[in-house]
Amino acid sequence: MEIESRIHGLVDTLMEDYGKGRIIDEIKMFEHPDKEMVVDILEKLRKIIYPGYFRNKNYKIYTVKNNISMLLEDVIYNLSKQIALVLKYEPRFSKLNADEVSAKAEELTFEFLDKIPKIREYIETDVQAFFDGDPAAYNTDEIIFSYPGIYAILTNRIAHELFLLGVPLIPRIMTEHAHSVTGIDIHPGTTIGKYFFIDHGTGIVIGETTEIGDNVKIYQGVTLGALSTRGGQSLRNRKRHPTIKDNVTIYSGASILGGDTVVGRDVVIGGNAFITTSVPDGAKVSVKTQELHYNYQSGQPVECKELDPKETWYYMI
């Protein structure tokens, strides 16, 4: 009884604490999107985009057409329901009545689904870029099934189309799910061209207003970020992140910052470079030549060795 009494006391204390009118006290469980459902929608969209790779285990025998039809019906119902819940976050939809909200959510759902062929066109190029660029990849199935980079890119391509349609919150839930699974953080506002290759991937951060061209290759630990976020909400809708042109390679640990920073075509950025100004076409950027220090335990003096800047030591993979 002592434990039961203490539990009741904690409940009473929390109920009192919930009544203080703060942001975190809001209790509207049926008015907010369901994160688990959004992730489920994302996984069903992946099955639609890769029709021959991820089976619908609820059915033992079916044709591709029947399978896609069932998946689409499920996505249409649940996505339109989730969109209806989040439209209140967008001021231009805030005055719609319940029927108008439902109709708008359904319209946005079908507008998004019409983009699936475009998403598939782009992800096909990404898979090819992964295969062409990674000697450790033995086939494209390996890439689709197991590479975190391709999962993060696909999620971004899905979320980006919803973002462009003005759907609040749901795109960010999707990309943050991919972030938690892969360690790759790509904002849904990021614009990405074809043949995008993320190698290894962990620790990559790509900000909202980043623009990435075709045939770009990025390694782990790269940041494409803003110079400063001290301005907070006053910086919203401003170009804060860099533009990366076609055929650029950015090696591990590099940081490229600022909305005015443009990395030109065919540029190579070496590992750990810190860049806040534009880079001209065709340049190769590396950190200033470093010294290696060897401290031998045998009592011999420390040896210093300069690294040859002509070598590719700065391409840290």
Give the pLDDT of residue 52.
73
Q: What is the pLDDT of residue 316?
A: 45
37 and 135, same domain (yes or no): yes
Q: How confident is the model at residue 95 (pLDDT cuts 50, 70, 90)?
A: confident
In this structure, are 181 and 198 located in the same domain?
A: no
pLDDT of residue 287: 85
Among residues 151, 186, 221, the one where a domain terminates is 186
CATH code assigned at 240: 2.160.10.10
Beta strands in the chain (DSSP E): 185-186, 191-192, 197-198, 205-206, 211-212, 217-218, 223-225, 243-244, 249-250, 255-257, 262-263, 268-269, 274-275, 284-285, 291-294, 303-306
- Out of 142, 166, 186, pick the residue that ends a domain: 186
pLDDT in tens, 125-161: 999 999 999 999 999 999 999 999 999 999 999 999 9
Do 146 and 241 lie in one domain? The reply is: no
Q: State how far the Cα of 144 lies from the Cα of 216, in Å rounded to an integer.
A: 19
Q: Are residues 152 and 167 in the same domain?
A: yes
Confidence of residue 8 (pLDDT cuts 50, 70, 90): confident
Tally of structural domains, the chain: 2
Average pLDDT value for residue range 229-248: 83
Measured torsion, CA atoms of residues 33, 34, 40, 41, in degrees rounded to the nearest 10: -20
Q: Does 234 score more than 90 pLDDT? A: no
The total number of residues written for the chain in this structure: 317
How high is the pLDDT of residue 29? 61
Tell me: do 294 and 204 sit in the same domain.
Answer: yes
Q: Which residues pair with 292 in a beta bridge?
A: 305
In 149-275, the DSSP E strands lie at 185-186, 191-192, 197-198, 205-206, 211-212, 217-218, 223-225, 243-244, 249-250, 255-257, 262-263, 268-269, 274-275
Higher pLDDT, 211 or 71: 211
Q: Are strands 262-263 and 303-306 parallel, antiparallel or unpaired?
A: unpaired
Q: What residue numbers bound the domain in which 274 lies?
A: 190-317
Reported as a pLDDT band with limits 50, 70 and 90, residue 302 is low
Dihedral of alpha carbons 301, 306, 311, 316, sign = positive
* 226 lies in some domain: yes
Average pLDDT of the residues in 257-270: 95
| Whole-Å CA distances, 54 to 48, 157, 211, 245, 258 | 9, 18, 31, 34, 39
Residue 109 lies in a domain: yes
| Higher pLDDT pick, 231 / 217 | 217
- Mean pLDDT, the chain, rounded, equals 87
Lowest mean pLDDT among 87-96, 104-113, 249-258, 290-299: 290-299
In-domain check, residue 157: yes
To which residue do tokens 């989730």 refer? 82
In terms of pLDDT, which residue wins out, 66 or 110? 110
Q: Are 100 and 249 contained in the same domain?
A: no
56 and 151 housed in the same domain? yes
For residues 47 and 143, state if they share a domain.
Answer: yes
- Rounded to an integer, the average pLDDT of 86-110 is 89
- My answer on whether 107 and 230 are in the same domain is no
Residue 144 lies in a domain: yes
Domain-terminating residue out of 186, 203, 238:
186
Residues 35, 180: one domain? yes
